[in-house]
A and B are shown apart, each in its own frame.
Chain A
């Protein structure tokens, strides 16, 4: 029966159901990903961010929360200039991290 409305999906992040496979794989090759403290300096300095939605902070967080496709979409906006690496206070080689992530995503496609 069509009531004209339906049960909406919940926006709640259910941490019980988050799949950490991709995050664990990322941490294997980029252990520094764990160091991110979400300060946002990478996103603030990102050349591509304001137009493409790219944000290294959000990419890492997205992978931590199981939002892999959203993270992948953001990554496509990156132009690999490396400004984020320059500003990261925790010394994360973000440019390298992005390249590693692209490689992991590439593995998935093969």
Chain B
């Protein structure tokens, strides 16, 4: 691997991201899958970096999942998106930041489609007006939330309490980065580092002390694939993709995986349990899995937030061995306590995959 070659490509795919004043739109599924990620994104941006990030309770799904699973036509998705833009206009913002990669791809694709087919944009304006008497402006800038964390990665690094290194040996952790397909594969110039060698996550990992692994199936899909998972008859394709990735990364003995898409951490995490049940195989050390994180969770850990406040107890793959490796303290007794201090339910244990 020639690192300078990647740096050259990264320099070709830089984005000039506005510094402040963002209109934030959430993901449909992340609040249940990774319940603290969005909260900590806002906390980091607002409290630590002092940024103005606005959100409104009136925003809805972007329609991306329905669009990609063939349940709504694109024009419907466009009208939903037009409504979000209208909410942004009403709030007086021009920069949109999305929590979800599917949304990021959806917004970007729709704006590009309107650029190529202005008559479609006119039609959607009419649809929106008929549906809810709203008008919209196309955002001046659309970013994914991981773009913002990438932009401020060094500031976060300077506030870091922990680094992505082995607390005992001081060796950098071996980190697999996985980018959501809709981040830059459709429009390479819309993503930091382009589509072949994106640097949005690897940049964070390096800034926070880790070592990035480039393994053969790095560019491959996490396995979600929308209809590949959503239709049960197809679900074998979904887990097969994930299996292919784990088989490919296995020889590198990754310590952790960092992701920037709602579906990827979910499937890379949960399918490890399913693969262990199907094949009797696990990919972490000593029968554990490889812990999978959202970039906000990793940022939160680096900044010293409590692992259970970051929602890491919701993961399938146990995070404790990694926390111990880095030297992040945690209280096992508090793992399944809710915010009110009362017990939340404990999950059942898998037969093969070792969990704490």
Contact = CB atoms under 8 A, between A and B. Distances in A.
B232 A7 contact: no
A3 B240 contact: no
Nearest to B277: A1
A10 B236 contact: no
A7 B243 contact: yes
Contacts of B240: 7-8, 10
A4 interface: yes
B255 to A, nearest CB: 25
B278 A3 contact: yes
Contacts of B277: 1, 3
A6 B274 CA distance: 9
A6 B278 contact: yes
Contacts, number: 29
Tell me whether chain A's interface is mostly helix, strand or loop, or mixed. Answer: loop
Interface string A1-25: 1011111101000000000000000
Contacts of A7: 236, 239-240, 243, 275, 278-279
B33 interface: no
- What is the size category of the interface that chain A forms with chain B? under 10
B169 interface: no
A10 B242 CA distance: 12
B274 A3 contact: yes
B219 to A, nearest CB: 15
B123 interface: no
A4 B274 CA distance: 11
Interface in B229-256: 232-233, 235-237, 239-240, 243-244
Which 7 pairs, one residue from A and one from B, show the smallest C-beta to C-beta distance? A5-B235, A5-B236, A1-B277, A8-B240, A8-B236, A7-B240, A7-B243
Interface of B: 232-233, 235-237, 239-240, 243-244, 274-275, 277-279, 351
